[in-house]
A and B are shown apart, each in its own frame.
Chain A
Amino acid sequence: MNVRKKSADPKGVLTGVHYLDGDYAIAEGALAAGCRFFAGYPITPSTETAERFAERIPMVGGVFIQMEDEIASVAALIGASWAGLKAMTVTSGPGFSLMMENIGLACMMEVPIVIADVQRGGPSTGLPTLTGQGDMQQVKWGSHGDYEIIALSPDSPQECFDLTIKAFNLSEMFRVPVFIMTDECVGHMHEKVVIPPAEEIEIVERKWYEGPKDKYLPYKPDVDLVPFMVKAGDGYRFHTTGLTHDERGYPVINAECQDWCVRHLCDKIRLNADKIIEYKEDETDNAEIVVVSYGITSRVAWKAIQDARKAGIKVGSLRLITIWPFPDKRIEELAGKIKAFVVPEINLGQIKREVERAAKGKVPVYPVSHCGGWVHNPDNILKVIKEAAK
């Protein structure tokens, strides 16, 4: 990868040990990562991130603007990103649905932006104040056409902070929207959050183009497939569009260019998946059963895993930190060694589907589904682990 790193700008870093909820930790992660533009619209249970950013940014130097809706919020982020700032917004289900249009534009224009989705129960207005994990497929497929994004899932306020920085770094590295897929529980959970000194926080700089002005091609892939970027006002007089386009960014409306353009958008993520994917494993080496979980559910599942181990079952844990791109390879490797997967999640099997796909039928995949409104009772997960181990 062609990556330039530096340490964080101390202006945005609130170094110290704090007691924060996940929503606040996202705002602090963004400020530490160098985010200086936030455009958002209030929606429960995500609003606290916007509130925190609005309170903090005047002393850091940057812009907070409450837009007229979530469509406008993402449009403003893309504009701000083209002007050279790191930009983010935060939302929940209904707002996330509205954002899909311009998420597609951000993918097509290859613009780095970060969006946090503090999930609540859906569909529609659903459960405004209660938790859910029902947007895990929407984040991947919600806008029309083929494209790839990156999505991360934190399980604690500390991870909300850490993964927001990671989200910005990945976003700059790959010129792609990156999503923090948290939920109401993690968003409103208060825990210890350690914010390190600025010099210990590694920040990825945007891939700025430095060649001759008249040779700049906004969509010419570099060796790592990610094109170089410039910003508005620097005299490149570039063009960018949501239409299918060539290396110059000019619209070309035919099947050949569509093939080049869309494969590029997908390949830059798919072929770099190994550099993106992160997960945490526990006792998967000799496991018979592996519990695949993410976000708040991984903390509930941990209790069930421990209980199962006490009952003599060899259970491993695969906690997904990167949800998209999906860790197909690791799932397939494990599938060759274990007896079954168990996938608890607060939806009706959205990630279970992916585990099944990646396991290629080698072993059964047991869902532990929950429609939202609360987290699982660990006993329900334990019951399924026991059934899978039979």
Chain B
Amino acid sequence: MKPEDRVEGRHPMEEFLRMDRMPHIWCSGCGIGIVVTSFIEALQKSGLDPNKVCVCSGIGCTGRVAGYVKLDSFHTTHGRPVPFATGLKLANPELKVVVFSGDGDIVGIGGNHFIHAARRNMDIVVICVNNFNYAMTGGQVAATTPIGANLSTAPYGNFEYPFNLPYLAEACGATYVARWTCLHIRRVTKSIQEALQKRGFSFIEVITPCVTLYARRNRLGDGLNLLRYYYENSEIRHGADTRTLDIGYQGKIIVGKFVDIEKPTFLDCMNNHLRKVLGDKYQPWGVKS
């Protein structure tokens, strides 16, 4: 009997993983894999048909998620998974489309797409793994780097104001906004499940350690140290005013579910508006008759 034929030799999530692509490229101590585990568990619990769930990633460490999940999965260009997801979703509204990418991808180079998809209330889930730096390219300063952190393109420490992502998402119109550290495994899973089961633009930020670059350059210990540090320095404050969620260097991280509202999606608005204006001439799109 080969190891993969034994029940105990199989990965419990292998139905959702491309086992023929393992081992993955992530460093030991990296938090991305934990978020993938949470995502798959959330997907299993959501009751959604996995054949109707798509994952779109951009470029970067988290951008590799699309390559490992066994779903219709799209590894797109840098910063563009959100508009790519927009096209997928609008062309086939039956699909549940998830953008799974990093902070550099989603709010750095892809920031414009992110704010517009949130503004339109595009019915997609955006999972943003925030490791405070551009890791795939070797640890450069990012739009999320806390002031004072040292990175290869901020060799004397970062002096730029970073984004407060939940505030940005809420201000742009997101209907679901949460932030966790990746060690809040059950809470991340629950948030992703809620987002998957919700209609509207959902945004979940997950703080993860980048052990090889961010932690090493700033002498913050190994992955496990930093995982614990983020977890222990977080404070759960559901419904907190998103304006108060800035993250300082090795400072307190406010986590929780901040926004969970109902609002018609882009397609709802399009169908409702055009039906009202055009009457029976209008051919509704993506509405089950």
Write the residues of chain A forming the contact surface with B, with a CB cutoff of 8 angstroms.
36-37, 39, 58-63, 65, 67-69, 71-73, 75-85, 87, 101-102, 104-105, 231-243, 250-251
- Interface flag for B112 (CB, 8 Å): yes
Q: Point out the residues of chain A lying under 8 angstroms from B51, CB to CB.
A: 233-235, 237
A111→B126 CA distance, assembly (Å):
24
User: Of B74, B94, B281, which contacts A79 at CB under 8 A?
Assistant: B74
Closest residue of chain A to B112 (Cβ to Cβ) is A68
Chain A residues near B87 (CB-CB < 8 A):
37, 39, 75-83, 87
By the criterion CB–CB under 8 Å, are A232 and B72 in contact? yes
**Cβ–Cβ < 8 Å partners of B67 in chain A:** 239, 241, 250-251
> Do A75 and B80 touch (CB < 8 A)?
yes
B109 — nearest CB in chain A belongs to which residue?
Answer: A71
Map CB proximity to A onto B223-238 as digits: 1 under 8 Å, 0 otherwise. 0000000000000000
Taking a contact as CB atoms under 8 Å apart, the answer to whether B75 and A242 are in contact is yes
- Give A67's nearest chain B residue, CB to CB: B83
A250: nearest chain-B partner, CB-CB: B21
Q: Is B116 an interface position by the 8 A CB rule? A: yes
Find out whether the CB atom of A84 lies under 8 angstroms from the CB atom of B91: yes
Instruction: Say whether B91 contacts A85, CB under 8 Å.
Output: yes
Within 8 A of A (CB), among B246-271: 266, 270
Residues of B within 8 A of A75 (CB): 76-77, 80, 83-84, 86-87, 113
B120 to chain A, nearest CB (A): 8
Question: Within 8 Å CB of B112, what residues of A?
Answer: 68-69, 72
| Alpha-carbon distance A68/B172, docked complex (angstroms) | 14
| Contact A241:B278 (CB < 8 A) given known A58-B283, A79-B88 | no
Question: What DSSP secondary structure best describes chain B's contact surface?
Answer: helix
B83 near A82: Cβ-Cβ < 8 Å: no
Q: List 9 A-B contacts (CB under 8 A).
A: A59-B281, A69-B112, A75-B84, A79-B74, A79-B91, A102-B77, A234-B51, A237-B71, A251-B67
Q: A75-B113, A82-B87, A232-B88 are in contact. List 20 more A-B contacts (CB 8 A).
A: A63-B90, A63-B91, A68-B112, A72-B80, A72-B116, A79-B83, A79-B88, A80-B90, A80-B91, A82-B72, A83-B92, A83-B95, A102-B77, A233-B52, A237-B50, A237-B71, A238-B73, A239-B75, A250-B67, A251-B67
Q: Confirm or deny: B85 has a beta carbon within 8 angstroms of a beta carbon on chain A.
A: yes
Task: List residues of chain A with CB within 8 A of the CB of B116.
Answer: 67-68, 72
Q: Does B149 reach chain A (CB closer than 8 Å)?
A: no
CA gap between A251 and B75 in the complex, in Å? 10
Q: How far, in whole Å, are A254 and B242 apart by their CA atoms in the complex?
A: 45
Report how far A390 CA is from B20 CA in the complex, Å: 69
Min Cβ gap B176→A in Å is 21
Q: Is B274 an interface residue (CB 8 A)?
A: yes
- Contacts known (A61-B283, A87-B91, A239-B66); A233 close to B72, Cβ less than 8 A: yes
**Residue from A101, A102, A236 in contact with B72 in the complex, judged by beta carbons closer than 8 Å:** A236
By the criterion CB–CB under 8 Å, are B91 and A239 in contact? no
Are A65 and B86 CB-contacts (below 8 A) given A59-B283, A240-B74?
Answer: yes
Is B32 in the interface zone, CB < 8 Å from A? no
Give, as a whole number of angstroms, the nearest-CB distance from B258 to chain A.
25
